[in-house]
Structure 1
Amino acid sequence: MADKGLDPEDWAETRAEAHRMLEAALDQVQQAADRPWQPVPDDIDARYAVRPEAGGPQAAVERIIQDVLPYHGGNTHPRFWGWVQGSGLASDLIASVAAAALNANMGGRDHGANYMERAVVEWTRAKMGMPESANGLLVTGTSQATVIAFQAARLRVLKSLRKTGQGNARLMVYAGDGVHNATMKAVELLGIGSDNLRRVPLVAGQMDCSALAEMVAADRAAGALPFLVVGTAGSVDLGLFDDLHALADAAADLGLWLHVDGAFGAWTRIAEEPWRSLSDGIGRADSIALDFHKWMYVGYDCGMALLRHEHEHRAAFAARPSYLEGAERGLAGGEPWFCDYGIDLSRGNRALKVWTALETYGETAFAQAITDNCKLAAFMAAEVEAQPLMALGAPVVSNVCVFTARSDLDAQGQSEVNARVVQSLQECGDAVFSTTRADGRVMLRAAIANHRSRAEDVRAAIAAVAREAVT
């Protein structure tokens, strides 16, 4: 038997290299504006190949500094607005060091990290306006949160689901056009089937509750079992918000579970007006899926499932074999355990980075950053409209701006130019937009969920679009 484990033989060397790594990480964050995304080199696979021999901490840190830090995803840069990706925080470094030292398993048992997660859940519940009966769980992101919420919703209408399965029941889900892809994945994963996800038309960017009622009535008449409607707080494409009060009324009248996809838009709850009102009514939902790693800026990954009733949440997942029995005292205490509210028994310490961020900056700073992002999206729209060859693809509602670089061309021409411009700007490091489709055209799309972005970044990016669009 080996007489030593995997702890360092030379703690002084490890301490020195850890300090060097921390300094490099601080430089990476502090100098984010000077470090845009860049294409990975052709030999990246060889650089990352696992070597059979030990190199020690000095070699490992050197490889990270030389071969890992330069080839990041780019979302820390102030002109990164592609998809909906958060920008990270300096406080994440502090939290990550503590989390690594603790190595907490958040599945259960009686230790401090679980109490911290409950504090983060309670803070979020209050911000969303959910009742004290609500319960939450930190997860990888909205995709996992959606699965958790949908499973609890199924159990409400199929009481024996966990024992007998869905059987011949044809469950029906309803969502507006443009709903988050997490909904599609969840209905497929849970065996509901994508054919049973009904797309409800939008009126003025919001789900048509009259059309929803007609669809539900028709499906019930056909022998199906409508059980769930998905509202949107911040659509991925255009940043649109359903009228959540109207949707909550409709869900109550129709006997449906109301789930709100608030991946990023739920956080308008702490923004200034008029953006705060966009998510009015979200607290009436039966469940909410949201992310901290988007519009609360913390490092990946960190999302949350919030359910209105703790007993429904627990009923959907609780399972305690003998080796997980709790106790009144000792480490096996600390009820309730988080493993009873989701699919993971082994869970990392996501709560610490949220708590550290709030402790470091305070809620007011986040409210201001979210508000500023919305103002920047409106500013970007004005910059677009000031350009003679550009045009908006849709009005800016929250933090998403969609536009074309060459409104003078036909749809095909616009699509080709817009796709080329996006790729060129990414490659040269000027700015990262992503693309979407609106009115049959590929459009540039900026989702501003970046606390480092400023007006000068928007001006420079739109000028770069104008330059590339005519070359």
Structure 2
Amino acid sequence: MAEGHRLDPADWDGFGAAFHDLLDRCLARMQAARDHPWIPPPEGFAGTVALDDAARPVEALFADLAAILPHGTGNTHPRFFGWVHGAGLPQAAAAELVAATMNVNLGGRLQAATEVERAVIDWTARVAGLPQTAFGILTTGTSQATIHALSAARRRAFPRVRAEGIRDLPPVTVYHAEGAHNCIAKALEVMGHGAQAARPIPLDGAGRMDMAALAATVARDRADGCHPLAVVGTAGSVNLGLYDDFEALAAFAETEALWLHADAAFGFWSLLAEAPWRDLARGIARADSIAADFHKWIGVPYDAGICLVAEGADLKAAFAARPDYLRAGSGLAGGDVWFTDYGIELSRGFRALKVWTAIRGCGRQALGAAISDNCRQAALMGQLVEASPKLRLAHPVVSNLVCFEPLGAEADRVAAALQMSGEAVFSTTLVAGVSCLRAALVNHRTTTGDVRAAIAAVEAALT
């Protein structure tokens, strides 16, 4: 092809026809999600997608895409309960097409995408109940958001850290409940403090961080010359869906001059639910920062998370650094917000559009109703487990997670058998040292019938 046209389709009409055919396949698959459980890639699939140096005709290329389409993780299916994988929304899939067509860099500049991301941040901050000074940034997920939040906490505690580094700092410590997500320790590793800077605190009888143990650990660390930096409250623990007492943590953090961070990857969205679930995260509005995922419980396609900071200036102070070629100007170089000032990335995709579309297309009420449905379904699953002589509930159901032991069988074997049969996807975990099946209900397509069928399938696998 001639200069200036080398990479675009030679035949736009033919490309459009193939594109529409592929789009129809995608729409049909989303509409019939119930008919598409997880299936592993066929033998030899790696060779099928291996790259050589040749270009493929459009028809062959789109046939390749259609061949990849069926072999995801199956998390669009209503009986996918593994890990905490969101189901995706058709509305947001449309937004992905628009975002790819626009192909903007949302690191900065004067563009509509900036206002869309600001709208998402503002809406989420209102859900949290944060003050008007709050600001944030969309991230790949809670793991990245945690690095952002703890970096802001560190910059506030040590104003010279960006210039001077951490070598001369006292040992920094961060406190979290036992069973909290390992993204906290990972963040501290990346920040140079090491995983040992994370201090797990035992739970009390209600499954929350034990406040007396927290106070004792902080006091001991201060006496040992450490600098207690932050306490991390969990909204929806990764194993059991437990919530810390954010009111108590906020009061403690104020007394001890600690930053309060909320690890709320999926549990944040219980704020949209009906009572009693919306009260699980009461007090989260008092947090200095919050990390949450859009791609879990409100169905936004991967990946999309957020870091919110109550004083947005703290986040900007931790990351803003404009070289000459990015200095503020007029025209396209204008804009009063450049998101590169609020995070580690300069090159950023328009992930905010799919989040905005999910919120705009579904509305707060419907999103909250779907979350409430999942919590009711989890409660039902817990009741079915307790009623079964073949199963043992490992912990009372608090929100949308259910862990239970298949009696007389290995949980890993049962989970794999159900996954391969397409009947249901559970993941596995350890609860008090016992291997259990784990169900996380975050799929808006799930029904009570799916819950009953999944538990019946588990029982049948034990015969």
Which TM-score band (shorter chain)? over 0.9
C-alpha separation in 2, matches of 1:405 and 1:123: 42
C-alpha separation in 1, matches of 2:4 and 2:104: 26
Of 443, 457, 462, which aligns to 1:464? 457
- SS of the aligned residue for 2:52 comes to coil
* Residue 65 of structure 1, CA deviation: 1.1
Match of residue 429 from structure 1: 422
Within a 5 Å distance, the mapping from 1:50-449 to structure 2 comes to 50-66=51-67, 68-168=68-168, 169-203=170-204, 204-327=206-329, 329-406=330-407, 409=408, 414=409, 416=410, 418-449=411-442
Counterpart of 2:182, as a letter, is N
* Residue 51 of structure 1, CA deviation: 3.5
- SS of the aligned residue for 1:226 comes to strand
* Residue 93 of structure 1, CA deviation: 2.1
Deviates more, 1:240-249 or 1:8-17: 8-17
C-alpha separation in 2, matches of 1:341 and 1:425: 44
Counterpart of 1:165, as a letter, is G
- SS of the aligned residue for 1:397 comes to coil
Counterpart of 1:158, as a letter, is F
Counterpart of 2:423, as a letter, is D
**Following TM superposition, where does structure 1 have runs of at least 4 consecutive aligned residues deviating by more than 2 angstroms?**
1-5
Could you list the per-position Cα deviations for residues 194-218 of structure 1 after superposition, in whole angstroms to 9, with x for gaps in the alignment?
A: 1121111110200111211111111
* Residue 3 of structure 1, CA deviation: 5.2
* Residue 52 of structure 1, CA deviation: 2.4
The answer to whether the 8 Å contact 2:185/2:197 transfers is: no
C-alpha separation in 2, matches of 1:158 and 1:93: 42
C-alpha separation in 1, matches of 2:55 and 2:165: 49
Match of residue 447 from structure 2: 454
C-alpha separation in 2, matches of 1:314 and 1:344: 13
* Residue 392 of structure 1, CA deviation: 0.4
- SS of the aligned residue for 1:36 comes to coil
C-alpha separation in 2, matches of 1:370 and 1:104: 32
Deviates more, 1:205-214 or 1:228-237: 205-214
Counterpart of 2:318, as a letter, is A
C-alpha separation in 1, matches of 2:459 and 2:61: 43
Which segments of 5 or more consecutive residues in structure 1 lack a partner in the other structure? none
- SS of the aligned residue for 1:184 comes to helix
The answer to whether the 8 Å contact 1:108/1:336 transfers is: yes
Could you list the per-position Cα deviations for residues 52-76 of structure 1 after superposition, in whole angstroms to 9, with x for gaps in the alignment?
A: 222222111111112x012111110
- SS of the aligned residue for 1:314 comes to helix
Which segments of 5 or more consecutive residues in structure 2 lack a partner in the other structure? none
1:16 maps to 2:17: yes
The answer to whether the 8 Å contact 2:93/2:301 transfers is: no
C-alpha separation in 1, matches of 2:283 and 2:201: 20
- SS of the aligned residue for 1:315 comes to helix
C-alpha separation in 2, matches of 1:359 and 1:228: 35
Distance 1:439-1:13 versus aligned 2 partners, 3 A rule: same
Could you list the per-position Cα deviations for residues 63-97 of structure 1 after superposition, in whole angstroms to 9, with x for gaps in the alignment?
A: 1112x012111110100010011000011221011
* Residue 294 of structure 1, CA deviation: 0.3
* Residue 221 of structure 1, CA deviation: 0.8
The answer to whether the 8 Å contact 1:238/1:401 transfers is: yes
* Residue 360 of structure 1, CA deviation: 1.5
C-alpha separation in 2, matches of 1:239 and 1:231: 13
* Residue 180 of structure 1, CA deviation: 0.8
Percent identity (aligned) = 49
C-alpha separation in 1, matches of 2:180 and 2:8: 48
C-alpha separation in 1, matches of 2:216 and 2:362: 48
C-alpha separation in 2, matches of 1:3 and 1:114: 30
- SS of the aligned residue for 1:437 comes to strand
C-alpha separation in 2, matches of 1:461 and 1:291: 26
Could you list the per-position Cα deviations for residues 36-55 of structure 1 after superposition, in whole angstroms to 9, with x for gaps in the alignment?
A: 11122220111111132222
* Residue 5 of structure 1, CA deviation: 3.4
The answer to whether the 8 Å contact 1:213/1:254 transfers is: no
